[in-house]
Amino acid sequence: MHLILALISIIAVWYRGDYRNWGKYYTTMQYIAIGNLTYNFLCASHWLWRLSPDFINWFNHTLLEMSYTFITFPATALMFLSRYPEGRGKWRVVRHYAFWIGLYVVAEIILLKRDSILYGYGWSLLWSTAFDCIMFPFLRLHHKKPLLALVISVPFAIFLLWLFDIPVHVPIENR
């Protein structure tokens, strides 16, 4: 399922023609990738969710996360922003957010049912849904006001580290 999602992302970006807008949304595509890399770095020994291989066992958690980091998530940001209903009424904007949040939640439900995603340390589908409800507005905010999005993202990430009691150890050198 993980590789299928990556493949669907590539095909959708190509089919919809959104790839033409990659330059306009490149920094936000990097923002989502860096966010996922940061999660994987900080939570390497205390993961809140962990991907497990679907059908090819040599695709371990690390390789799967790399496919999400460098393919699926940037493609999502590109498609979400390329079709954002700018100036077309509040309900179209609400529907746009609902579509993308719903798509992510349905994909995660499928992954959950197939045992392709595992939760740990109190994370759940409910937390993922809440995170999706924050992530998509942050993508839009980052596109419009990148510095503001970064300034808000840091305390938000620190809050999540605190909330889920994720140990962040800073090594102290012996001198």
pLDDT tens-place string over residues 28-69: 999 999 999 999 999 888 999 988 877 666 577 788 889 999
Hunting for tokens 């529907």 — which residue is that? 95
- 152 pLDDT more than 90: yes
Confidence at 168, pLDDT banded by 50, 70, 90: confident
Hunting for tokens 């009424």 — which residue is that? 89
CA 119, CA 112: separation in Å to the nearest integer? 9
Contact 76, 5 (CB under 8 A): no
- 175 pLDDT more than 70: no
Whole-number average pLDDT of the chain? 91
Confidence at 96, pLDDT banded by 50, 70, 90: very high
Contact 50, 120 (CB under 8 A): yes
pTM of the predicted protein model: 0.89
Confidence at 174, pLDDT banded by 50, 70, 90: low
User: What is residue 170's predicted lDDT score, i.e. its pLDDT?
Assistant: 61
User: What is residue 56's predicted lDDT score, i.e. its pLDDT?
Assistant: 64
